[in-house]
Amino acid sequence: MKSQWSFLLILFAAVSVLVSACSSNPPPLEPVSFRIEMSEFAFSPDTIEVRVGQEVTFELINVGLIEHEIMIGRNVMMDHNRPSGYMVDMFESANVEPMVMGGSVIHNDDDHGEAHGGFMVLLEETGDQASMTFTVTEDMVGEWEIGCFLLDGVHYDSGMAGKLIVSP
């Protein structure tokens, strides 16, 4: 009788360990990839949704006739009354450095006093491609804007903006 009870106790303990292991380790999310076309003056698609823990790749391609850039942030900053970037850069505020292949990566340093910090990828020519890969973190949860601020903000004013929605 006694050994039956201890057997049940051990079984119960083993099941609890298994259950807690499952609940604290949800299955990993599949990596996702988005092809984002940049043109005059739009990102296509213009809305992208990702989740915390996901490895995300943006395959960027310039299908336009002139150069385009991509920045991801919040709160458009003005420079001499022109939109020039974001006051809050998503990658910088989350302290994440995407891995980029192709294109030109530019860190906007605080070089003329009022510039924001920021991360951008520039595709100079028609057909230029770049890929940026990063893992989504908790610090990114929320809604962000994707934008191109070239030509003194004319691209942005002409509608070259989109949305990145990050859910927990």
Contacts of 147 (CB under 8 A, 6+ apart): 70, 71, 72, 73, 76, 83, 85, 86, 156, 160, 161, 162
Q: Which is nearer to Cu ion, 55 or 145 (CB)?
A: 145
Nearest to residue 63, comparing CAs of 35, 38, 36?
A: 38
Residue 130 contacts Cu ion per CB under 5 A: no
Residue 116 contacts Cu ion per CB under 5 A: no
Residue 122 contacts Cu ion per CB under 5 A: no
Neighbours of 148 (CB within 10 A): 28
Round to whole Å and give the CA distance between 8 and 159.
66
Round to whole Å and give the CA distance between 27 and 7.
31
**How many chain residues interact with Cu ion (CB under 5 A)?**
5
Q: How far is the CB of 162 from Cu ion (least distance, A)?
A: 11
What token pair was written down for 50? 């990702």
Residue 148 contacts Cu ion per CB under 5 A: yes
Q: Which is nearer to Cu ion, 56 or 148 (CB)?
A: 148
Work out which of 155, 162, 164, 166 binds Cu ion, going by CB under 5 A. 155
Nearest to residue 94, comparing CAs of 142, 160, 153, 58?
A: 142
Residue 42 contacts Cu ion per CB under 5 A: no
Q: Which is nearer to Cu ion, 51 or 163 (CB)?
A: 163
DSSP structure class, residue 21: H
Residue 50 contacts Cu ion per CB under 5 A: no
DSSP structure class, residue 64: S
> Which residue number has the CB closest to Cu ion?
148
Residue 160 contacts Cu ion per CB under 5 A: yes
Residue 68 contacts Cu ion per CB under 5 A: yes
Binding site for Cu ion (CB under 5 A): 68, 148, 150, 155, 160
